[in-house]
Every structure is written in structure tokens, then in C-alpha cells.
Amino acid sequence: MEMIDREADGSDSLEGFVLCHSIAGGTGSGMGSYLLENLNDHFPKKLIQTYSVFPNQSDFQSDVVVQPYNSLLTMKRLVLNADSVVVLDNTALNRIAVERLRVENPTVSQLNSLVSTVMAASTTTLRYPGYMNNDLIGLVASLIPTPRCHFLMTGYTPLTIDAQVSAVRKTTVLDVMRRLLQPKNIMVSTSTKTGCYISILNIIQGDVDPTQVHKSLQRIRERKLARFIPWGPASIQVALSRKSPYVETAHKVNGLMLANHTSIGALFHKLLLQYDRLKKHGAFIENYRKEPMFAENLDEFDSAREVVQNLVDEYKASERADYATWGQPPVSTMEDVRMSH
């Protein structure tokens, strides 16, 4: 933290922090959570965005035996201490590499290539600023209308890996924006066919005519390709950015979608199911009792589970038209409180 304090003191205009970590392994979850809490304590007014890698969810197989415990404990910190979390799901990344890029056994390096592509595209408007979305706060504010529902999913097209050129017929603005909404291009293993979008921001890179963007948005609206929440604006925001002068691409137009979608709650529900299965048998609990936080009791697990369950419930509630009043006490209860005073 002393190093971070020194760098912060030397900054002209510190806007926030970006943290990259895994939520399952010991270092990514433990050290990542520790850093996240400390950054929030030291810089309460600065924005914190994370790129959080979620473990493989297929067939409830864990990469690490205590993965469900680590994931749940980290999720609590992500809910309470981060302002924006870009979810990078290993299950979906593997699927995209196998099905979309025809890589039979994707390597860690190849999956990291997908992650770095998303990270580079999501910060392109900050590194090559235009007249809109040129700061971190502007990017986050447009995507996160309510504080707790700040978990974002991504989509990217056209995808390439290891300098291969993907077989994409056309890369017009409409083709790119339409493909970004297809579930097979989403880097989270939950289906966007259920639930609805809270917000969408498309970052389009390349030589793009703004009139093409307007026409593309009209076509998408006419075809009803995206279902939005009933209590907010049903609009896709678009940020245009020039391509990096340092990286050659084979495509005229590239696109990244950052989306806040209610179906991401299903991913967190899976984490709860995995945790409950392990906790029910008391498996590997002794590993944690050696730590001061768990020496006396396991209340921290119960607290973390409650936080994640509340998040799942809130994402589900956000699909309803009465979401604005969700979680508030009934009117009669509020009147009783006033009368008692």
C-alpha cells in the first residue's frame, strides 16, 4: 500500500484503480480481496474497477478444491468494495476458443489473449479519448444505474487468436453490433435469452461513419434483438474509437459490448450451490479455522453467503417494473414506525 500511496501522491489527477485477479485460487481471491478492501479504505472517493476471472463452472468441477469457499468470500468483497466488475468466465472463454476459434485444447496463453483483447478494447476510449466516454467514471456511470448491480458481461467481435484471422464474412457496423448481441459471443456462461438488459455500451473501433451507427441502432430496435428492463431507457449506447496505431488488424471494424444483464445472477446462484454442497459436508473447513478470521466461528461465511444471495435476489427483482420500490418496507409498516415516534 505504501507503493500505491506514493504513486497516488505523484498523480496529477487520480481517477481510480483497475484490479485484475481470479476469484477462485488462494492468491487471486485472498490477495485480491485484501487489496480491494484496502484500496476502498485508503481511497474511498476513487473508482475501483476489477477484471475478475470466474472459475470453470461446467459439471460443478472445481479447479481448486476450496474454490467454492474462496469464490464466495471474494464475491462479498466485490459486491461491497468494487464500483464495477467485469466478469471474465473461464467456462465461456473455453467454449468460445473451442467453438468459435476452432482450438481443440485452448492453452492458458490463448485464453489470456481473449482476456487481453477485451481489456484493451474496454479502455480504448480512455487511451484514445474522444468527446464522449473519455474517463472511467463516464464509462461506469452509463452502465451501472444502481450501486449493487455492478457486474458486467462482455462480448467481442470479430475474434482472433494467435494472429489467426477469423472467418468473418463482413465487418460492417450493423454486422458487428448484431453479432455482439448473440449469446455465442458473450464471455459469460449464462444465457442472455432469459432475463433482460439493464444497460449496453458498444465500443466500436475503426473507420466508422456515425450515420451507419444510427441506422444500425434503428435496425436492432426494429428487430427487437435486445430486451431491456421495464423501468429504464431501452437504448444501446455507442462510443466510437479509432484503432490503435500500434496494432494491425485484419478487420475494418471491431466491436466490444459491455453489458449489464440480469441473467448474470444465475452465475452467482451456481456459486451458492457449489458452496452449499461443500459446506453441508463440512469439507475442508479446517483449512480456514487456522486463520484468525475463522478461529472462533464461521460467521464470515454466513455473512458472505447472505451478501451474494441478496445480490442474486436484486438482479431477479430488477427484471420487474416495481424494482424502484424493491426492498423497501410496506407503506403500512412505515406508517407504524412514524406513529411509534
What confidence tens digit (pLDDT) does each residue in 297-323 have? 889 999 999 999 999 999 999 999 999
Q: How high is the pLDDT of residue 228?
A: 95
Domains of the chain, by residue range, sit at: 2-268
How confident is the model at residue 330, as a pLDDT? 62
Report whether 27 contacts 33 (CB < 8 A). Answer: no
Nearest to 76 by CA among 22, 37, 21, 25: 37
| Cα 12 from chain centroid (whole Å) | 28
At residue 73 the predicted structure's pLDDT band, cuts being 50, 70 and 90, is very high
* CB contact at 8 A, 257 and 178: no
pLDDT (0 to 100) of residue 139: 85
CATH 3.90.180.10 fits 2-268, yes or no: no
Give the list of residues 6+ apart from residue 334 with CB closer than 8 angstroms, or none: none
- What pLDDT does residue 325 have? 87
Mean predicted lDDT score pLDDT of the chain: 87
Highest mean pLDDT among 51-60, 216-225, 241-250, 287-296: 216-225
Rounded Cα distance, 32 and 214, in Å: 41
Does the pLDDT at position 332 exceed 70?
Answer: no
Alpha-carbon span 21 to 68, nearest angstrom: 16
CB atoms within 10 A of CB 336: 11
Residue at 260: amino acid letter: N
pTM here? 0.90
Q: Are 196 and 225 in contact (CB under 8 A)?
A: no
Cell 424493491 -> residue: 326
| Burial readout 76-88 (b: 16 or more C-beta within 10 A, e: otherwise) | bbbbebbbbbbbb
28: its cell numbers: 487471486
Torsion of CA 267, 270, 271, 277, to 10 degrees: 180
Q: Where are the beta strands (DSSP E) in the chain?
A: 16-22, 47-54, 84-89, 151-157, 197-206, 236-241, 253-261
Residue among 242, 173, 181 nearest 211 (CA): 173
Least confident of 170-174, 177-181, 259-263, 273-277: 170-174
Q: Report long-range pairs for 27-33 (Cβ below 8 Å, ≥24 apart).
A: 28/53, 28/74, 29/70, 29/71, 29/73, 29/74, 30/70, 32/74, 32/77, 33/73, 33/74, 33/77
Q: How far is CA 186 from CA 169, 173, 179, 198, in A?
A: 20, 18, 10, 16
Give the residue among 269, 197, 181, 261 at the shortest CA–CA distance from 229.
197
